[in-house]
Structure 1
Amino acid sequence: MNKVILMGRLTRDPEMRYSQGEQSTAIARFSLAVDRRFKRQGDPDADFFNCTAFGKQAEFAEKYLRQGTKMLVSGRVQNDNYTNKEGQKVYSVQIMVDELEFAESKNASSENNYQPASRPSPSMASGDGFMNIPDGIDEELPFN
């Protein structure tokens, strides 16, 4: 089984592009900073994961996600290994996104000096696998 669940903040706004062909598909790429639970002196405080979303998830990311948004992402890990021009093997991984969910309320994100774009109403999000956190929830979700 190949399944990963990450919670972190976007390090930049999603980059959008569309596939070629008759039925073009939206593709969103973004990076997620995930805090490390246990930190050793001299080690980084967070890990950074490159994520790619397709179709409806990509359109959702383009419309609602901005740098600093705290998100819960589930998907699968995919190797992106290649050999560079110097003949050295380069190892990297990519998170292929299946689901995106907000991990904090609008109030909590504004307390962190982040002003998100308007979020979808529950009727807009139903059936797409997206969770909309209602206004007025000030505490963190129990995903820590």
Structure 2
Amino acid sequence: MASVNKVILMGNCGRDPEIRYLPSGQAVANVSVATSSRRKDKNTGESIESTEWHRVTFYDRLAEIAGEYVKKGRPIYVEGRIKYGKYTDQSGVEKNTVDIIATELQLLGGREGMGAPAGDEESGSAPAPRRMPPPAPRASAPAPAARQAPAPRPASGFDDMDDDIPF
């Protein structure tokens, strides 16, 4: 039976990406993403907001793109998988880690810091999703045929309706 390990996060980047390169030349970038949720306190009826921080790791070209465009405070959309790990700290205590290994990235919000206007005049920030990485090239497909306009329909009136039901 197949299994699924998929995470979808949409939140704000908590710090600029830390980019490093492995000895193999592979780029790796780490960021923290904050997601928030609201709930009502049962006793007081007060709205309470809680924030969760997620460690997200990007690899290869996605890491380079994150390093170039993702900045602290920027809203992002990330898809990936959960990876659990363990390490022993300096005092000998074993620690557990939870990382999100990103497979997709979309930059949300305006294009601040990219030489373009910050957003829509009406709302202040228009979503400008950007899907990363670009789809892999596929085997050569035939070129699409030139698009033709559909044939004009006759004027619609009640007298030209057919009473037959087509099924």
TM-score clears 0.5: yes
Unaligned residue ranges in structure 1 (runs of 5+) = 107-114, 130-144
CA contact (8 A) 2:57 2:100 kept: yes
Shift of 1:125: 6.7
Work out the CA distance in 1 between the residues paired with 2:9 and 2:71. Answer: 17
Note closer, same or farther for the CA distance 1:85–1:62 as it changes in structure 2 (3 Å cut): closer
**Residues 65 and 116 in structure 1, CA contact (< 8 A), matched pair in contact too:** no
State the distance in 2 between where 1:25 and 1:39 align. Answer: 45
Q: May I ask how many residue pairs the two structures share in their alignment?
A: 115
* Equivalences for residues 86-125 of structure 1 within 5 A: 86-106=91-111, 115-118=112-115
Task: Judging by fraction of residues, say which structure has more helix.
Answer: 1
- Higher relative contact order (CA closer than 8 Å, sequence separation 6+): 1
Are 2:24 and 1:27 aligned?
no
Post-superposition Cα deviations, 1:62-115, rounded to whole Å, max 9, x if no partner, equal 111111110000000000223334443322200101000022233xxxxxxxx4
Partner SS, residue 96 of structure 1: strand
Q: 1:81/1:66 Cα in 2 relative to 1: closer, same or farther (>3 Å)?
A: same
Q: TM-score, normalised by structure 2?
A: 0.59
Instruction: Find the counterpart in structure 2 of residue 48 from structure 1.
Output: 53
What is the root-mean-square deviation in Å for CA atoms of aligned residues?
2.8
Question: How many angstroms does 1:55 deviate by?
Answer: 0.8
**1:16-74 CA deviation, whole Å, 9 max, x = no partner?**
111103xx111111110111243657x76210011110011111111111111100000
The alpha carbon displacement at 1:128 in A equals 1.2
Identity in percent: 31
Unaligned runs of 5+ in 2: 117-129, 136-167
Partner of 1:110: none
Counterpart for residue 128 of structure 1: 134
CA–CA distance in structure 1, aligned partners of residues 22 and 29 of structure 2 = 11
What stretches of structure 1 move > 6 A for 4+ residues in a row?
Answer: 124-127
AA at the equivalent of 1:36: S
